[in-house]
Structure 1
Amino acid sequence: MTQPLIGVTTYLEPAAWGVWKLPAALVPAAYPAMVHRCGGLAVLLPPDPDPGAARSVVARLDGLIVAGGADVEPVRYGAEPDARTGPPARDRDGWEVALIEAALDSGTPLLGICRGMQLLNVALGGTLVQHLDGHTGGPGVFGSHRVTPVPGTRYGSLAPAPVEVPTYHHQSVDRLAPPLTASAYADDGTVEAVELPGAGWVLGVQWHPEVSDDLTVTRGLLDAAAGRT
């Protein structure tokens, strides 16, 4: 069987390595490693200056991961920036929304992780809480907490019992986009997973499976993507 080709979004940041200090397209290595561990091939997708290219890109993929990272710009969901919201990443926002829309239109399996879940919610008409305490372990340190699946959902079928997950976010779903269903919650009521009901495979998780030994959601994506190869 052909290995599924999974696109993983990246972001543009100044970076230093060896004698070089240059703008770079970055994503933590744990993301492609997670794809490899589940039997897929990973291709990295830096923001394209032309969001219209997203449909051509997605047409070449068997699945898409929208990775974590910077806060979604509040203007995208009609809000004023909170003082604690990070600086905008407009090129990334525009590119990843275009990728999400292309994946939804083409039925390409889609997994949104942390920011990726939030952007999926925004792209479909939802809003975000701009600051939330207690879902990190401190600056640069992952926290951990329990998430409880909603029975009868796609995520609930993948993980039928509560699990401890690695978490690092200060924003979360506020108003859930009308097409989406919440499929897991933290103990404090924070929406921790969302999905799009129907035949396609679309799931967003608020936690970071790439730094976990639990590959449940990634295997779910790869299984769905394998059906397209």
Structure 2
Amino acid sequence: MTVLALFCLAGYQVTGATAGERFLGRIGAALVELDLWLPAHRQDIQLLAKDRPDEAVVVDDLPVRGVVLPPEEARSADDETLKRLLRGSMGGSLYREGAAGLSDHDGQSHLSITEPVRWSVALLSAGMHGFWRAAVVLAALVLLALCAVMLTLQQPPAAAVLWGALAAAACSLAVWLLARGAGSAFDGALDREIALVVRDGAWLGLRNALAVAAVAASLLFLSRALLGPREGSWRHGADREEDGFA
């Protein structure tokens, strides 16, 4: 159950607004090949920002709907600043709209439903964040209930949580290694970026698992250090009483 709870926690964190928009911005940049796209459109963006200084700059020449830039920043921004603004706007749009945001200003999508990028965007969107929120709460409640049952049976729940956290850490490490290898093996920029997003999510899961394992190990050590001597002294006293009665 600890493995499932940590998996739900990682899903909740990855689909949060900050992480989700950042990951989706990276995927959007890889989808449009931003490094190649921007030089051909930078002048148009800056002209729009100068012609309409009080209106947001709407970028239509992208396969992502709702990309809007602030005019005061886009007017005189360099390439790196424009890339950052475009990644942020694409990430926000894809996070809010999910796979529906993968369309141009006419509402037409040129990606097949079987494309990995569509599934990646859908899984990182705001809608999935609500699902993972409910899942992590339910998993935490079940885990706490199981720990309470173990306490009533006079069994240390910290040991079970420790082994579960170590198993989750091993799974996260395996996914991290596989995603890292896949990112190096893929030729396409979009496939590499999706693999890197999976790698970063696995790293987040690994960090959570190691943190829980450290806490569980500390609690297990403290419980044995505090309760062990008492249990030993009680047994020693009981043995002496038995010897006296004998």
Give the TM-score, by structure 1 length: 0.23
Higher relative contact order (CA 8 A, sep 6+): 2
More strand by share: 1
Compare CA radii of gyration and give the structure with the larger one. 2
More helix by share: 2
